């Protein structure tokens, strides 16, 4: 059921929706679609959004053998190379305007990581060597300019001078380091390592895994801490359910690429504890609630959290086939996505979020600098690849 339905969702809904946002006048993809499904052709174009679109179409082209998707990936690639990368100071901007001129020229480690992720995928799909070269350049820029002796830093101005981290800080704190940035640097490195097998990338992944298991993961609470000061002291009592279930499968995947059995077993145990805790704590009423701050649960059902929950529970079940409850949870949440998270209007996509009663938030758009085809598109691609129905015992 999951593989077949994921393929249908991808082919009938997600791919056509994002194809429709191609900007053939100024390049790239339109950056905003309101709740009313109206496209704003003059909205800012987030560089993270463009990278995620590039990754999505690249993976669809490669995994589904779709030449049409490769063409759309190329369109995103040309926009990234021409408009999103700073030719003078290096790195990827935060955003450009609808014409492709720098709008927010700040540099964030998170944005650099997603460009690496996307360029590596495009290289594999297209064979375009310049894409791999650019991915390697951005990886080295992260290692040289976006970290200190204790790990990765967050925000910089255009010339890579340290800046405040409003963009990746939330919940009333200003974070010096974040779990979220660390996770996605690891993700970008993993995709780059998968297609290049460069030792320097593998070494960076191992360093990140050490930070993950000794600084970010809390073995007493079986969760990741989220926001940190410079010395990895947690700044807030916050349990991000979506990030924990995402990490539980994504870090398993990346770590497995290194071919280190002892390391994989150690990391896999941590990730299983994350998934088990999320199952017991956040899986409610056929879906995953958002987060818990200082004991107060946010019951909003966020689009990307549901997508990652499906993958996280499938991954946990594939690691522990006797624990059929995880497969059933993944199937249950997928049905929730189909029945509740998906807008039934023709030509639409997933809602940003719904409340505890399944009502969508009309103030949230279908596309903005953060709402993208990366989480739900990846969910579908992974379900097709993993084929959990065929492996059922």
Residue 337, both tokens: 């996505």
Express each pLDDT in 314-324 by its tens digit.
Answer: 999 999 999 99
Element (H, E) at 296: strand 296-298
Query: What pLDDT is recorded for position 392?
Result: 54
Burial environment of residue 237 by CB neighbours within 10 A (0 to 12, 13 to 18, 19 or more): middle
Q: What is the pLDDT of residue 179?
A: 98
pLDDT tens per residue across span 87-135 = 999 999 999 999 999 999 999 999 999 999 999 999 999 999 999 999 9
Rounded mean pLDDT of 158-179?
Answer: 93
Q: Outline where 101-221 has alpha helix (H).
A: 109-126, 129-145, 179-196, 199-211
> Which pLDDT does position 171 carry in this prediction?
87
Q: How confident is the model at residue 1 (pLDDT cuts 50, 70, 90)?
A: confident
Span 201-218, mean pLDDT?
Answer: 98
The pTM assigned to this predicted structure is: 0.97
Domains of the chain, start order: 2-386 (1.50.10.10)
Lowest mean pLDDT of 154-158, 166-170, 310-314, name the range: 166-170
Of all residues in the chain, the percent with pLDDT exceeding 70 is 99
- Range of lowest pLDDT (225-239, 323-337, 378-392): 378-392
Contact 43, 371 (CB under 8 A): no
Summarize the confidence of residues 58-76 as an average pLDDT: 98
Q: Scanning the structure block, which residue is given the tokens 């609808």? A: 98
Is 393's pLDDT higher than 50? no
Quick one: pLDDT at residue 50? 98
Distance CA 92, CA 138 (A): 8
Q: Mean pLDDT throughout 334-361?
A: 98
- The set of residues, in sequence order, having a beta carbon less than 8 Å from that of 248 and lying 6+ positions away, is 271, 272, 274, 275, 278, 312, 315, 316
Rounded Cα distance between 47 and 278, Å, is 31
- Identify the band that residue 170 occupies on the pLDDT scale cut at 50, 70 and 90: confident
Residue 389: what pLDDT?
76
Give the tens place of pLDDT for each residue, 285-321.
Answer: 999 999 999 999 999 999 999 999 999 999 999 999 9
| Mean pLDDT, rounded, of the chain | 97
Collapsing DSSP states into helix, strand and coil, what is residue 228?
strand
Burial of 208 (0-12, 13-18, 19+ CB in 10 A): buried
User: What mean pLDDT do residues 29-42 have?
Assistant: 98
Regarding predicted confidence, which is higher, 393 or 171? 171
């Amino acid at each position: 059921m999951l593989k077949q339905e994921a393929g249908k969702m991808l082919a009938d809904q997600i791919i056509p929706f994002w194809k429709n946002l191609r900007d053939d006048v100024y390049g790239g993809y339109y950056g905003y679609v309101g709740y009313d499904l109206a496209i704003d052709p003059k909205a800012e174009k987030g560089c993270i959004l463009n990278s995620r679109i590039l990754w999505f179409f690249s993976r669809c082209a490669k995994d589904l053998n779709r030449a049409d998707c490769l063409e759309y990936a190329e369109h995103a690639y040309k926009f990234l190379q021409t408009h999103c990368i700073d030719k003078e100071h290096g790195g990827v901007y935060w955003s450009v305007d609808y014409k492709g001129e720098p709008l927010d020229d700040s540099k964030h480690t998170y944005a650099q990581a997603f460009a690496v992720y996307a360029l590596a995928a495009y290289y594999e799909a297209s064979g375009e060597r310049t894409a791999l070269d650019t991915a390697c350049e951005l990886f080295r820029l992260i290692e040289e300019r976006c970290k200190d002796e204790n790990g990765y830093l967050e925000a910089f101005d255009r010339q890579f001078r340290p800046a405040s981290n409003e963009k990746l800080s939330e919940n009333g704190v200003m974070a010096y380091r974040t779990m979220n940035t660390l996770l996605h640097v690891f993700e970008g490195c993993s995709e780059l390592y998968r297609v290049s097998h460069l030792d320097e990338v593998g070494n960076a992944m191992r360093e990140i895994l050490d930070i993950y298991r000794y600084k970010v993961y809390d073995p007493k609470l079986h969760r990741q801490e989220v926001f940190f000061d410079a010395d990895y002291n947690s700044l807030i009592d916050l349990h991000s359910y979506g990030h924990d279930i995402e990490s539980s499968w994504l870090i398993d995947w990346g770590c497995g690429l290194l071919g280190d059995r002892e390391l994989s077993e150690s990391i896999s145990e941590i990730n299983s504890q994350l998934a088990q805790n999320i199952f017991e704590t956040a899986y409610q009423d056929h879906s995953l609630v958002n987060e818990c701050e200082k004991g107060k649960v946010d019951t909003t059902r966020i689009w990307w959290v549901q997508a990652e929950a499906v993958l996280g529970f499938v991954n946990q079940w594939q690691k522990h086939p006797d624990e059929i409850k995880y497969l059933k949870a993944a199937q249950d949440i997928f049905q929730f996505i189909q029945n509740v998270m998906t807008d039934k209007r023709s030509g639409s996509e997933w809602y940003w979020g719904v409340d505890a009663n399944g009502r969508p938030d009309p103030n949230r758009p279908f596309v903005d600098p953060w709402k993208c085809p990366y989480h739900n598109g990846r969910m579908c691609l992974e379900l097709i690849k993993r084929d959990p129905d065929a492996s059922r015992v």
